[in-house]
Amino acid sequence: MLDLDVSYNADIKVDAGFTEKTPIAGIKSIKLEGILRVILAPLMEDSPIFGALTVYFPHRPVLELQWTGFAHLLNIPGLQTLSEKELVNQIGQIIVAPQHFSHPLAARFDLAKLQFLEPWNALRIRVIEAKNLVAKEILTKSSNPYVVICGGGTTAKTRVIHKNLNPKWNETFEILYSDLPDQEIEFNLISDKGVKINQQLGSCRIRIKEVPERGFIDKWIDLENVKSGQLHIKVTRLRLLSDPTQLEEVLKVNEQSRPKRDNEIASAVLYTYIEKGRGLPVLQMKKDNLKALAVVQVGVEDNVKKFGSRINNGEAEWKKRFQFLIRNPLNEELKLKVHNEHNKPIGSITVRLSRLLAASEMTLQDWLPLESTEQNSEIRVKLQLRILTPDVGAPSPQGKTKAQFFKPRTKVKKR
């Protein structure tokens, strides 16, 4: 594993406009700084020794842009930060941990064998409270704080508490993460300004490896880039079990420990692999002789993923992996719909998650027929259900423990 200190500063010319001769906005220079991690793994017996090359940014890089034309409007305080932050977010969706780029070095190496391909680890995060926050409302000498939690490639946020510098949230979230080294959970405290631009109240982060393998951490953390403020969190490691007999007890404990204003606590994870389809309608597109597109929508409740692939001789290949946090698998279901590029339905599948509880290892891997289709269309899927339970020695989600105070050793450059 190699960590490369990347510092890229260059003049570029990027113009946008209605015509080539009348650009209305552009970028004339770019600066990108960050740590780029390179992993050569796994070891192979034969040349080239390593099976694959994997690269990613362990942390979000720092990006600075110099705008031209009407884009000078972005120099207005707040707007510039928003534009650069959005670009960094786009980078983050591609190559910031846990996202990564992997390329096989050995001719026959299957990238599916990489250990960090799927997030087979879970944490339960309780955002408890904050204190001594900075006042952003001049008249009321207060703030309207909420917390944005980023980790494992997902983002969640607490509710807004108005006019309070010592807010108490007591909200619970679960995140999934892979075995990619040195991942972090980031907490950004923000003051809600309504229709105006929200203001930062500071941020902090913890490394996932700080959480004991069989336990939890409970601590106050100093906020960075502000004069004052601390955040109180609990982070608990969870086990993923393939034993359906554990579900009843998990549901009972989750319900008893859930605060009245909190959302339901996740009791399970559904790992979904949409591999390929066959027997799909064969249509020849008139434009550019492109093959028809098979678009898949798959989701549980309001968490829906969408992706597509071209149909070739009635077959399509997607090879997409998704994970869904499940509140109660006894009354939830996976819905999969397939349609073409004109949004015309091809077929659908509904799988009740209770079906997986009766399956061997709570796993279903098979061709499933599409309903509401005139053809014998099928989709090959792999569905795995895993029960979430705190590791041995960890407290219940609302368990009271003595908090430690944690002050970061180093300051992170403001982003």
In this structure, the answer to whether residues 144 and 242 fall within a common structural domain is yes
In this structure, the answer to whether residues 276 and 374 fall within a common structural domain is yes
User: pLDDT: is 6 or 353 the higher one?
Assistant: 353
Q: Give the pLDDT confidence score for residue 341 in this predicted structure.
A: 85
Between CA 40 and CA 105 the distance in angstroms is: 9
Q: In sequence order, what are the residues at sequence separation of 6 or more whose Cβ sits closer than 8 angstroms to the Cβ of residue 115?
A: 178, 179
Q: Give the pLDDT confidence score for residue 47 in this predicted structure.
A: 86
In this structure, the answer to whether residues 219 and 344 fall within a common structural domain is no
Q: Give the pLDDT confidence score for residue 320 in this predicted structure.
A: 93
Closest alpha carbon to 173 in 144, 205, 148: 148
Amino acid code (one letter) for 235:
V
Q: 203-237: per-residue pLDDT in tens? A: 999 999 999 988 899 999 999 999 999 999 999 99
In this structure, the answer to whether residues 98 and 190 fall within a common structural domain is no
Closest alpha carbon to 120 in 274, 295, 240: 240
Q: Looking at the predicted structure, is the pLDDT value of residue 82 above 60? A: no
β-strands 404-406, 216-222: how paired? parallel
* Positive or negative: CA dihedral 128, 133, 136, 139: positive
Comparing 132-136, 261-265, 366-370, the range with the smallest average pLDDT is 261-265
Question: CA-based angle 215:219:61, to the nearest 5?
Answer: 95
As given in the structure block, the two tokens for residue 368 are: 């499933």
As given in the structure block, the two tokens for residue 128 are: 């408890």
Q: 313-342: per-residue pLDDT in tens? A: 899 999 999 999 999 999 999 999 999 888
Average pLDDT of the segment spanning 265-274:
97
Amino acid code (one letter) for 253:
V
CA-to-CA separations, 94 to 90, 192, 304, in angstroms, rounded = 7, 28, 19
In this structure, the answer to whether residues 7 and 131 fall within a common structural domain is no
**DSSP states of 75-131:** GSTTHHHHHHHHHHHHHHHHHBTT--EEEESSTT--GGG-TTSS--EEEEEEEEEEE
Between CA 64 and CA 78 the distance in angstroms is: 14
Domain span at residue 316 reads 268-387
Q: Is 143 within 8 Å of 137 (Cβ atoms)? A: yes
CA-to-CA separations, 201 to 219, 222, 240, in angstroms, rounded = 19, 12, 35
How much is the mean pLDDT over the chain? 85
Between CA 298 and CA 381 the distance in angstroms is: 11
Closest alpha carbon to 121 in 211, 253, 256, 196: 211
Q: Give the pLDDT confidence score for residue 282 in this predicted structure.
A: 75
Comparing 85-94, 102-111, 339-348, the range with the smallest average pLDDT is 85-94
Q: Looking at the predicted structure, is the pLDDT value of residue 134 above 90? A: yes
The DSSP code for 288 is: G
In this structure, the answer to whether residues 258 and 275 fall within a common structural domain is no
Residue 414 within any structural domain of the chain: no
The DSSP code for 409 is: S
Percent of the chain with pLDDT over 90: 55
**DSSP states of 55-79:** EEBSSPPEEEEEEEEGGGGGGSTTH
Of 90, 113, 136, at which residue does a domain stop? 113
Residue 392 within any structural domain of the chain: no
In this structure, the answer to whether residues 137 and 256 fall within a common structural domain is yes
In this structure, the answer to whether residues 172 and 293 fall within a common structural domain is no
Residue 415 within any structural domain of the chain: no
Residue 232: beta bridge partners? 129, 220
Q: Give the pLDDT confidence score for residue 198 in this predicted structure.
A: 87
Residue 413 within any structural domain of the chain: no
Residue 325 within any structural domain of the chain: yes
Q: 33-56: per-residue pLDDT in tens? A: 889 999 998 888 888 899 999 999
Residue 73 within any structural domain of the chain: yes
Encode 153-170: b = buried (16+ Cβ within 10 Å), e = exposed.
bbebebebbeeebebebb
User: pLDDT: is 352 or 256 the higher one?
Assistant: 352
Residue 367 within any structural domain of the chain: yes
Of 94, 113, 132, at which residue does a domain stop? 113
The pTM for the full model equals: 0.80
In this structure, the answer to whether residues 141 and 259 fall within a common structural domain is yes
Amino acid code (one letter) for 162:
H
Between CA 168 and CA 129 the distance in angstroms is: 4
Residue 128: CB atoms within 10 A of its CB come to 18
Between CA 72 and CA 58 the distance in angstroms is: 31
Residue 306 within any structural domain of the chain: yes
Q: Give the pLDDT confidence score for residue 197 in this predicted structure.
A: 81
In this structure, the answer to whether residues 102 and 12 fall within a common structural domain is yes
Q: Which CATH number covers residue 373?
A: 2.60.40.150
Q: Is 219 within 8 Å of 129 (Cβ atoms)? A: no
Domains in the chain, number: 3
In this structure, the answer to whether residues 284 and 381 fall within a common structural domain is yes
Residue 235: beta bridge partners? 125, 217
Distance of CA 65 to the CA centre of its chain: 26
Read off the pLDDT band of 412 (50, 70, 90): very low
Amino acid code (one letter) for 51:
G
In this structure, the answer to whether residues 285 and 258 fall within a common structural domain is no
